[in-house]
Amino acid sequence: MKKIQELEKIARQLEPDMETRHHISRDTNTYINNFVDSLPVSPGYTTGNINRLKSMKVGEEGKPFEQLLDILGNEVDAVGINSASGRHMGYIPGGGLWTSAVADMLAAAVNRYAGIAYSSPGAVEIGNQMIRWLASVVGYPEAAHGNLTSGGSVANLIAIKAVRDHYGINASNVERSVIYFTEQVHHCIHKALHMTGLYEAVLRSVPVDENYRMDVKILRKQIEEDRHMGLNPLLVVATAGTTDTGAIDPLDKIADICEKYQMWFHIDAAYGGFFVLAEGAENRFKGMERSDSVVMDPHKTLFIPYGSGVVLVRDRNTLLASNSHKAAYMKDAYGLDEIDPADCGPELSRHFRGLRMWLPLHLHGLAPFKAALEEKLMLCRYFYEKARDSGFETGKAPDLSVAVFRIPDDPDNSRNKKFIRALHEDGRVFLSSTTIREKLWIRCAVVSFRTHLQEIDLALEMIKENRDKVLSEGGRSSVRIAGEN
């Protein structure tokens, strides 16, 4: 008994008293408020060292909260890409809604087990309510269901696995099965194919047209040829908002092809899907409602913090058949009408993810989300036109909110390599680069809900300054810059 009492005294340190909680909460709230308030003037990218962080060791005794907060402020949140900033326009920026952070704190504090309805009917209802709403956004029937995941990678994995299980693809027939996608498909699709064993299928990379969209004429021809060879065309993976350029594949035409040949139609709309909510953008997604499965990332264009993806499957029975399992020790939990998240994906233990979406949507309503999405589309078009008018070579007009540009007359990409290095060294706004058909392009992804006109104008100013710097260092370009004599 004495030993138990001694251990209890030490273990109770894990439950801070009210005064300590108040102190930590006050300092945390001050830290967050200072961070959010400083975002409009903070750089999008910062270099620096993390030496103190690297030297830290977990010991028997704890450290002061102030010291830990100082490490976080100076060597975590102040170094690298400022993901929460409106000046982050590289890759596909994540969200970071403050109201979602509040939801996460509430979810973590009450620590509801959100995997089965028996454990927490309310937590599961919140998640399933979000899934039903998301299915309605896509245009799916009531028979659809899905899973809230950690992101697009796991969401795509669940969908790919559902395809495999639904068609009974195994070692005896996988080498005859054919999967179609383009060079613009996200690399998480390749990872999902490897994880499910479908990398042993015949993988067809369908060429894209001049707008970087899947060429459906070539797709149809390839399917016919594969059928003629005795192969089994299985799956078409389309993209609604490619990472490189934001292109949307011709979804409706692909749906026609999949229906004709009785193939599974999957759409990776992790980045672009929520733009269907923006006024005037609905027609760009025509055909999405005809797909068999779709992936969307609320941590991208619904502005929720990282760790938020969703997979939706038109036929819930297909999803459940691929994931549902029974266990003897869980017999008390069976028999409820609600669909358990644990039966819709690989996770059993899981974060109460639904709350981080449910709270902001109900608190703010849909209107500001729709306005922010429409604003991003318009800002990207504004950026594209300004960059073009400033003498840059530009890609196709943006389908969504990604624009690509480069210094022209650069056949070996040497100037643009210097250009992107200069932009990263500047860091006021973070942009990224990609290679398309051997050309190095700079990407501007207008996705953050904190990106507004002043951030776009700052990006344009930074881009022009560094372009001029690169050209002056490398000799005067023969290209006339707009506005020059």
Tell me the pLDDT of the chain (485 aa) as tens digits.
999 999 999 999 999 999 999 999 999 999 999 999 999 999 999 999 999 999 999 999 999 999 999 999 999 999 999 999 999 999 998 889 999 999 999 999 999 999 999 999 999 999 999 999 999 999 999 999 999 999 999 999 999 999 999 999 999 999 999 999 999 999 999 999 999 999 999 999 999 999 999 999 999 999 999 999 999 999 999 999 999 999 999 999 999 999 999 999 999 999 999 999 999 999 999 999 999 999 999 999 999 999 999 999 999 999 999 999 877 667 666 766 789 999 999 998 999 999 999 999 999 999 999 999 999 999 999 999 999 999 999 999 999 999 999 999 999 999 999 999 999 999 999 999 999 999 999 999 999 999 999 999 999 999 999 999 999 987 444 343 333 32
- Give me the DSSP letters along 94-123: ----HHHHHHHHHHHHHT---S-TTT-HHH
Look-up of token digits 């500001």 = 368
Q: Which residues contact 43 (CB under 8 A, 6 or more apart)?
A: 82, 85, 87, 427, 428, 429, 430
Q: Is the pTM of this model over 0.85?
A: yes
Buried b / exposed e along 393-405 (16+ C-beta atoms within 10 A): bbbbebbbbbbbb
Look-up of token digits 């309503």 = 365
User: Under DSSP, is residue 68 helix (H, G, I), strand (E, B) or coil?
Assistant: helix
The architecture in CATH of the region 104-364 reads 3-Layer(aba) Sandwich (3.40)
Residue 312 is encoded by which pair of tokens?
């939706």
CATH 3.30.300.90 fits 367-473, yes or no: no
- Every domain of the chain and the residues it spans: 14-43+45-79, 104-364, 367-473
- Rounded CA separation 310/297 (Å): 6
- Quick check: 376 and 447 in contact, CB under 8 A? yes
User: Under DSSP, is residue 448 helix (H, G, I), strand (E, B) or coil?
Assistant: coil
Q: Which of 338, 301, 343, 353 is nearest to 320 (CA)?
A: 343
- How big is the CA angle at 396 (ends 391 and 402), to the nearest 5 degrees? 90
- Give me the DSSP letters along 144-189: -EEEEESSHHHHHHHHHHHHHHHTT--TTTGGGEEEEEETTS-HHH
